[in-house]
Chain A
Amino acid sequence: MELILTPHVNTPNGFTLDFYVKQGGYEALRKALSMTPDDVVDVVKASGLRGRGGAGFPTGMKWQFVDKKSSKPKYICCNADESEPGTFKDHVLMERNPHLLFEGCLIACHAIGAKVAYIYIRGEFYHVQEVLEAELAKARAAGFIGKNIFGTGFDCEIFVHRGAGAYEAGEETALIESLEGKRAQPRLKPPFPAVAGLYDCPTAVNNVETLCNVPPIITRGAEWFASLGPEKNGGPKLYCLSGHVKRPGVYEAPMHVTVKELIYGEQYGGGIRGDRKLKAVIPGGSSVPILLPDQIDIPASFDGVMKAGSMLGSAGMIVMDETTCMVWAAENLLYFYKHESCGKCTPCREGGDWLHKLLGRIERGEGQMKDIDLLLSVANNITGKTLCAFGDAAATPVLTTVGLFREEFEAHVREGRCTLKADWRSEARAHAHAH
């Protein structure tokens, strides 16, 4: 199977400009610049490319919504915040194939009429910033970025902007706020970024992997791209496997691949560590519902996972074996969500903390039976009642674990202790320590 995004991640010096150009790099940009912006948008629309940041929204459509008639500057913001637990694919692309991302940014700028793209990377990616800036300088010196690119009169700059530790900065309007030098708290929508985004100018926010798919679409065409995967789920996809698999890592595959193949296939995860039994998979980063072992023989596509009752999200697959306590797992994740809540709206800010406290109580064996229903009640009072999708994301780990593993919660209450304490967990852990 041909790799499109990651063929050279293990090739020595595969990340360099020289190598990239030898492989035909920046030719897609040349081709795109010979097309009108509208034609570029049309090709991307026809390809069916869906955003790889989590929601799977059609990229061509997002670009079409950008208000081109506005007299204001337009912007591309590349979302490289990659903070969804279990997700580490954009990291690989930026370290090992940065010029593919730059080329995608430049083509996107041409498509929406922007002259600047900002790549917003998370604060913890200090070393990624170094790579991007060094490679940007080389691409600039070679004339691929800057003024009058390829003598076409197209001017375009790309800048890296590093955040400082905030999961919520990955939400697109929070990202824009953060880029403007403020707290990463989302804006009320509408207006959508396509109308009033960065500096109140028309803006498209696209994920790293999304933009990396653009150059191959321009080079090889929309039909080729669509034909790589199931209908409406075209193109290559990066999957992040972590947790209790034998070979954790990032794997590229078309979306025909099944979740089962990804976990057990020899070329992918290679099965469960210690050949233990699979208990649960979170298929799309920590914010989506769990799939059970009898639910994984499905295409790992946007629509396939949706049909099974979950979401492909960021394609961060967290695999848990039979030694994993689901109350503990929920508590672990709710610590994350209460810690990362931006605090702007009440159900998420207060509810997340409440859920975490309840889970901690049950996990320590101090819970009561009525706490289990209280968990559901609090979670249901967050879902759909918050300013951004973070609220639903925070409620999901609770709803999915209680929904599928209620007997484990009950056993904790009945026996007054954690009934499934694996040896890889802390022996004496005082919960809740804040930073």
Chain B
Amino acid sequence: MSFHPLMDYGKGMHQSQRALADEGPAFVFTAENLATLEDICSRYPAERRKSAVIAALYLAQRQQGYISRNAMKAVAAAIRISTAEVEDVVSFYTMFYQRPVGKNIIQVCRTLSCALNGAERLTDELQKVLGISTGETTADGAFSLFEVECLGACDRAPVVGVNDDWHECQRPEDAQKLVDGLRTKGAASLTGCHLHKEHS
């Protein structure tokens, strides 16, 4: 059975559409997100809409906080590919969350240059302050803690990503300050990327 990119697979007729069980709240892209997605699709040849699948998943994740299976089905319909192809992508890339995560996703870089500058101790401290282990979310849903790989800013070690933003030169002893800052002032409490200062 072929997957013709221009065929309308959105009607739940196809084998792979049936195979993916429902999970999560009902998911419908907002009109605004659909318009954004069409704009992004126009950057690729018409028969290559699949190139926009990562962008579509980002939109879905932003809309709902994580990628549920219902969201995957909506993405498949919007991109006109099978749900299997969407699952394939979601399960490969680390930045897609398949379960609900905290409002603040704290991602400590654990790779060598950051580790040489105290990233291990920083993770220890954050685990203590938040009362969770890496990979977990606090009971109030405010924070998730992950370790991630080199963020491409090793001169500002240790680097911490927080949602779409990031925080540089975070010392282990200031872990409490990082968490308090996020609680009270949100992203405004972060240093941001030093190269990006003038843009924001």
A residues engaging B (CB < 8 A)? 9, 12-13, 15, 73, 82-88, 90-92, 95-96, 122-128, 130-131, 134, 157, 159, 161-167, 178-184, 199, 240-244, 248-250, 282, 286, 316, 318, 320, 324, 329, 332-333, 335-336, 339-340, 342, 424-429, 433-435
Contact present for B51 and A161 (CB under 8 Å): yes
Chain A positions within 8 Å of B123 at CB level: 426
Report the nearest A residue to B196, measured CB to CB.
A127
Q: Give the residue name and chain of the B residue nearest to A168 (CB).
A: B92
Given known contacts A95-B196, A424-B118, A123 and B93 CB-to-CB distance under 8 angstroms: yes
The distance from the CB of A365 to the nearest CB of chain B, in whole angstroms, is 17
Interface majority SS on B: helix, strand, loop or mixed?
Answer: mixed
**Best-surrounded residue of A9, A13, A83, A435 (most CB of chain B within 10 A):** A435
Query: Closest residue of chain B to A397, judged by CB?
Result: B112
B110 interface residue per 8 A CB criterion: yes
B61 — nearest CB in chain A belongs to which residue?
A164
Q: With the chains together, A183 CA to B86 CA distance in Å?
A: 10
Identify 11 new A-B residue pairs, CB closer than 8 A, beyond the known A12-B198, A73-B45, A429-B120. A127-B196, A164-B93, A164-B95, A165-B94, A183-B88, A242-B154, A318-B154, A424-B120, A429-B124, A433-B135, A435-B148
Q: Which of B72-122 contact A (CB under 8 A)?
A: 79, 81, 85, 88-89, 92-96, 110-113, 115-118, 120-121
B76 to chain A, nearest CB (A): 11
Return 24 A-B CB contacts under 8 Å, by A number: A9-B195, A13-B198, A85-B149, A88-B153, A122-B152, A124-B152, A126-B165, A127-B192, A161-B54, A163-B54, A164-B57, A166-B92, A181-B48, A181-B89, A242-B154, A249-B155, A286-B111, A318-B154, A333-B111, A342-B92, A427-B121, A429-B120, A433-B147, A435-B147
B33 in the interface, Cβ–Cβ < 8 Å? no
Contact A424 B152 (CB under 8 A): no
Asked if B120 and A426 make an inter-chain contact with CB atoms under 8 angstroms apart, the answer reads: yes
Instruction: Tell me whether A435 and B94 are in contact (CB under 8 A).
Output: yes
**Structural contact, A91 and B135, CB atoms closer than 8 A:** no
In chain B, positions 134-171 with a C-beta closer than 8 Å to chain A are 134-135, 146-157, 161, 164-166
Shortest B117–chain A CB gap in Å is: 7
Those 8 A-B pairs whose CB atoms lie nearest each other, nearest first: A165-B94, A181-B50, A164-B93, A426-B120, A242-B154, A248-B155, A165-B95, A95-B195
CB-CB under 8 A from B88, the residues of chain A are 182-183
A82 to B26, CA, bound (A): 37
Residues from chain B with Cβ under 8 Å of A84 in the complex = 150
The answer to whether B147 touches A241 (Cβ under 8 A) is no
Q: Which residue of B lies closest to A320 (CB)?
A: B116
Taking a contact as CB atoms under 8 Å apart, the answer to whether B150 and A127 are in contact is: no
Chain B nearest CB, measured from A13 CB (Å): 7
CA distance A383 to B50 in the complex (A): 34
A336 touches B195 (CB 8 A): no
Q: In this complex, what residue of A is CB-closest to B49?
A: A181
A286 touches B112 (CB 8 A): yes
Q: A12-B198, A435-B134, A435-B135 are in contact. Are A424 and B117 (CB under 8 A)?
A: yes
Do B92 and A318 have beta carbons less than 8 Å apart? Answer: no
User: Do B199 and A434 touch across chains, with their CB atoms under 8 A apart?
Assistant: no
B55 at the interface (CB under 8 A from A): yes
Say whether B43 faces chain A, with CB atoms less than 8 Å apart: yes
Measured CB to CB, the nearest residue on chain B to A250 is: B155
The size class of the interface chain B forms with chain A is: 35 or more
- From B54, B85, B133, B161, give the contact of A164 (CB < 8 A): B54
> What is the chain A residue whose CB lies nearest that of B57?
A164
Contacts of A130 in B (CB 8 A): 199
User: A residues within 8 A CB of B52?
Assistant: 181
Kindly identify which residue among A199, A248, A339, A435 contacts B48, using a CB–CB cutoff of 8 Å: A199
B193 CB-CB contact with A under 8 Å: yes
A86-B113, A134-B199, A242-B154 in contact; A123/B149 too (CB < 8 A)?
no
Q: Which residue of B lies closest to A424 (CB)?
A: B118
User: Is the beta-carbon distance between A91 and B94 smaller than 8 angstroms?
Assistant: no
Listed residue (B85, B152, B164, B200) with the most chain A CB atoms within 10 angstroms of its CB: B152
Please, which residues of chain A bring their CB within 8 A of the CB of B200? 127
Q: Inside 8 A of A92's CB, which chain B residues have their CB?
A: 195
B165:A127 contact, CB within 8 angstroms: yes
CB within 8 Å for A424 and B43 given contacts A130-B199, A167-B149: no
| A-side contacts of B45, CB under 8 Å | 73, 199
> How far is B95's CA from A73's CA once the two chains are assembled, in angstroms?
32
B152 touching A88, Cβ below 8 Å: yes
Q: Which residues of B contact A286 (CB under 8 A)?
A: 111-112, 150
A180, B149: Cβ atoms closer than 8 Å: no
- Closest B residue to A286 by CB, please name it: B112
Q: Shortest Cβ distance from B152 into chain A, in angstroms?
A: 5
User: What is the chain B residue whose CB lies nearest that of A241?
Assistant: B155
Contact assessment for B135 and A183 in the assembled complex, using a CB-CB cutoff below 8 Å:
no
Task: For residue B38, give the distance in angstroms from its CB to the closest CB of chain A.
Answer: 15
Closest residue of chain B to A184 (Cβ to Cβ) is B92
B60 within 8 A of A: no
